[in-house]
Amino acid sequence: MLVGLATAVKLTPGVFVVYLALRRRWRAALVAAGTAALLTVVTFLVLLGDSAAFWFDALLDTDRLGTNRGTSNQSIRGLLLHLSIPQTWLWLLLAAAMAAIGFRCALSASRAGNELAAITIVGLLSCLLSPVAWIHHLAWMPLVLAVIVGDGRDRRRVVMAAGLWVWFVLRIPWYGTAMLTSNTGPGWFARFLQQGYGLAAIACVFVLLWVARRDADQRVQVTR
CB-CB contact of 216 with 113 (8 Å): yes
Beta strands in 21-176 (DSSP E): none
- Cα 88 to Cα 77, 80, 134, 201, distances in angstroms: 9, 10, 19, 21
Sign for the pseudo-dihedral over CA of 84, 87, 90, 94: positive
Please tell me the predicted confidence (pLDDT) of residue 86: 72
Note the pLDDT tens digit of each residue in 75-115.
999 999 999 887 678 999 999 999 999 999 999 999 999 99
150-203 pLDDT tens trace: 999 999 999 999 999 999 999 999 999 999 999 988 999 999 999 999 999 999
Output the pLDDT for position 62.
67
DSSP state at residue 103: H
Say if CB 216 and CB 114 are below 8 A apart: yes
pLDDT for 64-73, tens place per residue?
A: 666 788 899 9
Instruction: Report yes or no on whether pTM surpasses 0.85.
Output: yes
- pLDDT value at position 168? 95
- Average pLDDT over every residue of 125-133: 94
- When computed from its CA atoms, the radius of gyration of the chain, rounded to whole angstroms, is 19
The C-alpha atoms of residue 89 and residue 135 are separated, in whole angstroms, by 24
DSSP 75: S
